């Protein structure tokens, strides 16, 4: 007996067997139930998400004499049996990739005027419709504008942006979604159960995730795994079929890169390569690893979303918790950017190792920055503690200038730029709890103490975090030839100096 692929063998023939496209199935069933079936549909979405399967079910459903409760074709009535035959003239499947000329479309649209021979409707399913030539689209458009009552067109495409707007506007559009891993995994388990194939739950999940949302792709991997594993589909077996890296070894590599450990990263990468893993697969696996770690870090339902085997999830959770988001993100970016570069090069290993090293060095510079930030924070804390305890620290003059720079920039933001510049040349100092602005000329003193300016300065000073616990005082420095000089100097230096 010839082998039939799982995908063909388990192709859905009723609406309830279609997975992951509930929004579409429900609308189509309602249209059948209400007798409001359209004449032109466009189905779009990634390959293997069910466009053709749904088209075929729908085509039979609109013709079935005794549809099932959910609107699905019964598969038994005269019409269903007639339409199941390959040579029938009522359901026509056209592959636009190989029939894309205007003559072929004209031939098709000419014949559409003949009434159906079996049921009520003639259904034309045009696959890969984006492949039609411009002239062919125009010929099709004419028919779509005034289709005979018995005609239904279903146009299927993976490239909706290549379909002319004139065609789109005549069609009911349905977007087929990527099918979630969990849903595909359940389908695979059901199929294995039905066929009496032994399997590990994790194996089915890994197969599902390899399909990346496409049921067809996942089922063709399942096919290979069944043959390879000889009736007992294990996680390790699936890994071997996929050529994927050992997930634990891969985690080790991920950790080395995140740590910035160039030596370990290159060594583990070499080990994986020696095991025969291809570099593009390895780069992709590493990008996925960090993508998953980010998902765990950022997303509360990560566990359900990722559907990973328990031990792999636990490892990944550790990785996610051990590094800051930025670090995970930068490694993911470094690795996912490689795909394009590798495609156009033969020097895979060099490019990959270069990317590993630069991702590792990224850790170093990020760690350097973190260290610097920590040091600044420590210094600021020490300073503010010293100030709170009333200790007049040595760098007080410099620190006062710092406080002023903050205040000046805020003054500029609030529209007091002139004031800020005028005070620029003053001497700033912190004495005890007093922040002193010592102005050297009288004109500036008058300007600063003018009510509007003084109020603005007070407001900014009060709001400045660096100035917390300090009191603002504005002073005019008296020239030494002035009579008050002695008092001023005594005030500044206390009893330490004698004025001669
Ligand atoms: Zn039927």
pLDDT in tens, 476-493: 876 544 455 555 555 555
Tokens of 363: 């850790």
Tokens of 2: 């010839």
Same domain? For 420 and 460 the reply is yes
Residue 49 sits in a domain of what CATH number?
3.40.50.300
Same domain? For 100 and 40 the reply is yes
**Integer Cα distance of 234 and 231 in angstroms:** 10
**pLDDT tens digit string along 465-479?**
888 888 998 888 765
Which tops the pLDDT comparison, 346 or 133?
Answer: 133
Which tops the pLDDT comparison, 234 or 391?
Answer: 234
User: What confidence category does residue 146 fall into, taking pLDDT thresholds of 50, 70 and 90?
Assistant: confident
**Integer Cα distance of 500 and 493 in angstroms:** 14
User: What confidence category does residue 14 fall into, taking pLDDT thresholds of 50, 70 and 90?
Assistant: very high
Low-confidence winner among 71-80, 273-282, 483-492 (lowest mean pLDDT): 483-492
Confidence check: pLDDT of 74 > 80: yes
Same domain? For 207 and 120 the reply is no
User: What confidence category does residue 96 fall into, taking pLDDT thresholds of 50, 70 and 90?
Assistant: confident
User: What confidence category does residue 395 fall into, taking pLDDT thresholds of 50, 70 and 90?
Assistant: very low
Confidence check: pLDDT of 191 > 90: yes
- Residue 185, in any domain of the structure: yes
User: Residue 336: what pLDDT?
Assistant: 84
User: Residue 457: what pLDDT?
Assistant: 92
Give helix then strand counts, H and E, for the chain. 24, 10
Distance 66 CA to ligand 1 centre (A): 5
Same domain? For 82 and 203 the reply is no
- Residue 79, in any domain of the structure: yes
Same domain? For 452 and 438 the reply is yes
Same domain? For 43 and 82 the reply is yes
Same domain? For 119 and 36 the reply is yes
Distance 27 CA to ligand 1 centre (A): 20
Distance 72 CA to ligand 1 centre (A): 8
Long-range contacts of 149-152 (CB under 8 A, 24+ apart): 150/115, 150/116, 150/120, 150/121, 150/122, 151/39, 151/112, 151/121, 151/122, 151/123, 151/124, 152/37, 152/38, 152/39, 152/40, 152/41, 152/59, 152/62, 152/121, 152/122, 152/123, 152/124
Last residue of a domain, one of 310, 344, 365: 365
Confidence check: pLDDT of 274 > 60: yes
User: What confidence category does residue 296 fall into, taking pLDDT thresholds of 50, 70 and 90?
Assistant: very high
Distance 496 CA to ligand 1 centre (A): 110
Distance 68 CA to ligand 1 centre (A): 8
Q: Determine the average pLDDT of the residues in 149-170.
A: 92
CB burial of 320-338 (b: ≥16 within 10 Å; e: otherwise) equals: beebeeebbbbbbebbbeb
Do the strands 198-199 and 172-175 form a parallel or antiparallel pair, or are they unpaired? unpaired
Last residue of a domain, one of 218, 242, 266: 242
- Residue 141, in any domain of the structure: yes
Question: CB of 116 within 8 A of CB of 85?
Answer: no
User: Residue 396: what pLDDT?
Assistant: 45
**Integer Cα distance of 267 and 250 in angstroms:** 12
Distance 81 CA to ligand 1 centre (A): 7
Distance 80 CA to ligand 1 centre (A): 4
Residue 320 sits in a domain of what CATH number?
1.20.272.10
Distance 119 CA to ligand 1 centre (A): 10
Q: Give the closest residue to 339 by CA, choosing from 288, 379, 408.
A: 288
Distance 93 CA to ligand 1 centre (A): 20
**Integer Cα distance of 152 and 237 in angstroms:** 45
Tokens of 262: 């160039």
User: Residue 394: what pLDDT?
Assistant: 46
Distance 154 CA to ligand 1 centre (A): 20
User: What confidence category does residue 367 fall into, taking pLDDT thresholds of 50, 70 and 90?
Assistant: low
Confidence check: pLDDT of 1 > 70: no
Question: CB of 47 within 8 A of CB of 216?
Answer: yes
Same domain? For 57 and 168 the reply is yes
What's the number of domains the chain is made of?
Answer: 4
- Residue 263, in any domain of the structure: yes
Residue 195 sits in a domain of what CATH number?
1.10.8.60
Distance 9 CA to ligand 1 centre (A): 20
Distance 86 CA to ligand 1 centre (A): 16
- Residue 52, in any domain of the structure: yes
Q: Determine the average pLDDT of the residues in 267-284.
A: 83
Distance 62 CA to ligand 1 centre (A): 9
Tell me which residue range forms the domain holding 32.
6-175
User: Residue 123: what pLDDT?
Assistant: 94
Same domain? For 403 and 490 the reply is yes
Q: Give the closest residue to 140 by CA, choosing from 115, 116, 108.
A: 108
**pLDDT tens digit string along 30-49?**
999 888 899 999 999 988 89
- Residue 382, in any domain of the structure: no
Q: Determine the average pLDDT of the residues in 80-108.
A: 85
User: Residue 390: what pLDDT?
Assistant: 62
Same domain? For 402 and 347 the reply is no
Confidence check: pLDDT of 415 > 60: yes
Distance 73 CA to ligand 1 centre (A): 5
- Residue 301, in any domain of the structure: yes
Distance 277 CA to ligand 1 centre (A): 51
Q: What is the mean pLDDT of the chain?
A: 85
Which tops the pLDDT comparison, 379 or 230?
Answer: 230
This prediction's pTM = 0.58
Last residue of a domain, one of 242, 259, 286: 242
Same domain? For 217 and 258 the reply is no
- Residue 18, in any domain of the structure: yes
**Cross-strand pairs, 6:** none
Same domain? For 235 and 319 the reply is no
């Amino acid at each position: 007996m010839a082998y039939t692929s799982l995908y063909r063998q388990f192709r859905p023939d009723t609406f309830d067997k279609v997975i992951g496209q509930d929004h579409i199935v429900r609308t189509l069933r309602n249209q059948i139930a209400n007798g409001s079936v359209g004449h032109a549909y466009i189905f779009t979405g990634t390959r293997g998400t069910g466009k053709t399967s749904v088209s075929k079910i729908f085509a039979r459903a609109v013709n079935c004499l005794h549809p099932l409760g959910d609107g699905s074709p019964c598969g038994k009535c005269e019409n269903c049996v007639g339409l199941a035959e390959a040579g029938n003239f009522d359901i026509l499947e056209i592959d636009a990739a190989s029939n894309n000329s205007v003559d072929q479309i004209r031939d098709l649209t000419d014949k559409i005027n003949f009434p159906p021979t079996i049921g009520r409707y003639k259904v034309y399913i045009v696959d890969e419709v984006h492949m039609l030539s411009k002239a062919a689209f125009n010929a099709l458009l004419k028919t779509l504008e005034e289709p005979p009552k018995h005609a239904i067109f279903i146009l299927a495409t993976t490239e909706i942006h290549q379909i002319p707007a004139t065609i789109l506007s005549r069609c009911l559009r349905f977007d087929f979604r990527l099918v979630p891993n969990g849903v595909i995994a359940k389908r695979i388990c059901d199929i294995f159960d039905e066929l009496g194939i032994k399997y590990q739950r994790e194996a089915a999940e890994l197969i599902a995730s390899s399909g990346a949302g496409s049921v067809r792709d996942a089922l063709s991997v399942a096919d290979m795994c069944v043959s390879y594993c000889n009736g007992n589909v294990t996680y390790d077996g699936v890994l071997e079929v996929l050529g994927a890296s050992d997930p634990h070894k891969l985690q080790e590599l991920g950790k080395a890169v995140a740590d910035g450990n160039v030596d370990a990263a290159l060594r583990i990468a070499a080990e994986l390569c020696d095991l025969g893993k291809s570099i593009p697969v390895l780069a992709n696996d590493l990008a996925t690893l960090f993508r998953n770690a980010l998902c765990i870090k950022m997303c509360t339902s990560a566990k359900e979303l990722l559907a990973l085997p328990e031990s792999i999830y636990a490892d990944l959770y550790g990785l996610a918790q051990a590094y800051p988001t930025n670090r995970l993100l930068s490694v993911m970016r470094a690795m996912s950017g490689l795909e394009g570069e590798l495609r156009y090069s033969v020097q895979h290993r060099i490019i990959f190792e270069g990317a590993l090293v630069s991702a590792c060095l990224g850790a170093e510079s990020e760690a350097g920055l973190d260290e610097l930030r920590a040091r600044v924070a420590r210094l600021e804390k020490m300073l503010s503690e010293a100030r709170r305890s009333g200790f007049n620290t040595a760098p007080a003059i410099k620190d006062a200038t710092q406080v002023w720079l903050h205040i000046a920039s805020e003054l500029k933001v609030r529209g007091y730029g002139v004031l800020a510049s005028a005070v620029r040349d003053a001497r700033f100092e912190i004495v005890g709890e007093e922040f002193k602005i010592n102005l050297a000329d009288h004109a500036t003193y008058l300007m600063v103490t003018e009510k509007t300016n003084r109020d603005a300065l007070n407001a900014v000073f009060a709001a400045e975090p660096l100035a917390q616990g300090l009191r603002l005082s504005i002073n005019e420095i008296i020239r030494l030839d002035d009579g008050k000089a002695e008092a001023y100097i005594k005030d500044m230096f206390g009893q330490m100096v004698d004025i001669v």
